[in-house]
């Protein structure tokens, strides 16, 4: 659980910021696997 929290949820040390998660207004490909 600590890994998940530190990697995705803890804003100070997370590797993937929440802004990157949001694809609501994304037009075109949402992944690099297109």
Tokens 């609501």 appear where?
24
Q: Which letter, b or e, does each residue of 14-27 get, where b requires 16 or more Cβ atoms within 10 Å of its Cβ?
A: eeeeeeeeeeeeee
pLDDT on residue 12 = 80
Global model pTM greater than 0.75: no
pLDDT on residue 34 = 63
Task: Please write the tens of the pLDDT for every residue from 4-30.
Answer: 888 777 878 777 767 777 777 777 777
């Amino acid at each position: 659980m600590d890994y998940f929290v530190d990697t995705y949820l803890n804003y100070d040390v997370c590797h993937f910021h929440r802004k990157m998660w949001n694809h609501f207004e994304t037009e075109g490909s949402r992944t690099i696997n297109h």
